Structure 1
Amino acid sequence: MTEDTETVPNACPPLSEWRTLDALRAKLEAELFNLNKGVLLDALASAGVTHVVVTFDGYGDSGQIENVEVRSGDDAIPMPEGAIEIAQAVWGQSEPERSMVAIAAAVESLTYHVLERTHCGWENSDGAYGDITFDVAAHAITLDYNERYTATENYTHQF
C-alpha cells in the first residue's frame, strides 16, 4: 500500500482575499472606463462625429446590439475607420491590459460595459432594450433603458 503525499493547492483563496482583489479590480475598471471613454470621445470628435446612438435588445439569455447610428450634426455618416488604444482590467493584476482596437469595437466594448455596470443580466428572461447615446460635445454617455417583465395578478372569489 502506498501513501499519496501529493498535496492539492487551495483552489479558492480566502473570501477576504477575494473581496480585496474584487475591490481593486472594480476600482481599476472604473478608472479605465473613464480613460477609455475619454480616448473614444476624443477620437470621435477628431473625426467630426457629434453623436453615436447604439440600439440594443436582449431577452431569453441572449442580447445584442441591434443598430449603431453615427451622426455629424443632423447627417448620418459612416463609423470612423481609425483605431484607438483601450485598457482593460485583468483579474489579480494591478496593471491593465492595453490593446489597439477599431473605433467601432471600442464603441461596442463601452456599450456592453455600460450595460453590465448598470443592469447586469439585461439580456436574461424578459430582457431589456434601449439606446446608449455617446454625446461627443457633452463628453457623456447616456443610457436610455427599458426593462421588460411579466406581471401576474391573481384574484380568487368565492360566493
Structure 2
Amino acid sequence: MTDATPPQPAIDMAKTMERYAAWEAAAARLVPDNKQRLFAHLASANITRVVVIFDGEGDSGQIEDIQAYVGDEQASLSDGKVDYLDLPYGEMQPKLCRYSTALALETLAYDLLREKHAGWENSDGAYGEFTFDVTARTITLDYNERFTSSEHHSYSW
C-alpha cells in the first residue's frame, strides 16, 4: 500500500521566516517611542551624554560598560525607572515594563544592534559603542566587526 500524500516538512521555513520578519518589524516600530521616553528620563536627571560599550565574540556578547556624563564630568545614572515597551521574541503585543535606567539603555542598545547588525556577537564578533547625545536627542553607533581571514594560493605548472 502506498501513501499518495507526500510527507510534509516538520517546520514550514517560509512561514517561520514570515513570522520572524513580522516580529522584527513590530519590534523596530517601538524604538522611536522608547528612545523618546529614555531621552526624557535622562534629561530630567541632567544627563547630557551616555556611552554604552559592547563586545561580542564566540557566539555571545554583552554590554561591557555604561558611562553617563553631565557636560564633560562623569556622573551616575539616576535610580529612577523608565517606561519601556518591550516585545519578547515571537510575541506581537508589546509589554509595558518599568526598567532601571541602565536596563533601558542596555535594552535599546541591543534592539538597535539587532536592527542594524543582527548576529554581531557570532564568530569573531563585533565591538563598539553607542553615544546617546541627550541634548541633540541622537544616538550614534561606532561599530567594529572582527573576522578571521585566510588566503590560499595554489600553483601548478
TM range (shorter): 0.7 to 0.9
Give the structure-2-normalised TM-score: 0.83
Partner of 1:111: 109
Cα 1:16–1:61 change in 2 (3 A) is closer
The CA RMSD over aligned residues, in Å, is: 2.3
The ranges of structure 1 where at least 4 consecutive aligned residues each deviate by more than 2 angstroms after the TM superposition are 11-19, 21-28, 89-93, 155-159
Q: Structure 2 stretches of 5 or more lacking a match?
A: 1-9
Which residue identity is paired with 1:104?
Answer: A
Partner of 1:52: 50
Cα 1:12–1:98 change in 2 (3 A) is farther
> In structure 1, how many angstroms separate the alpha carbons of the residues matched to 2:109 and 2:16?
30
> In structure 2, how many angstroms separate the alpha carbons of the residues matched to 1:24 and 1:139?
28
Shift of 1:157: 4.3
Shift of 1:115: 1.0
Aligned residues: 147
Give aligned-pair identity as a percent.
41
> In structure 2, how many angstroms separate the alpha carbons of the residues matched to 1:99 and 1:55?
23
> In structure 2, how many angstroms separate the alpha carbons of the residues matched to 1:122 and 1:146?
9
Shift of 1:25: 2.9
Give the structure-1-normalised TM-score: 0.82
Q: Structure 1 stretches of 5 or more lacking a match?
A: 1-10
Asked if structure 1 preserves the Cα contact closer than 8 Å seen for 2:35 and 2:108, the reply is yes
**What secondary structure sits across from 1:43 in the alignment?**
helix
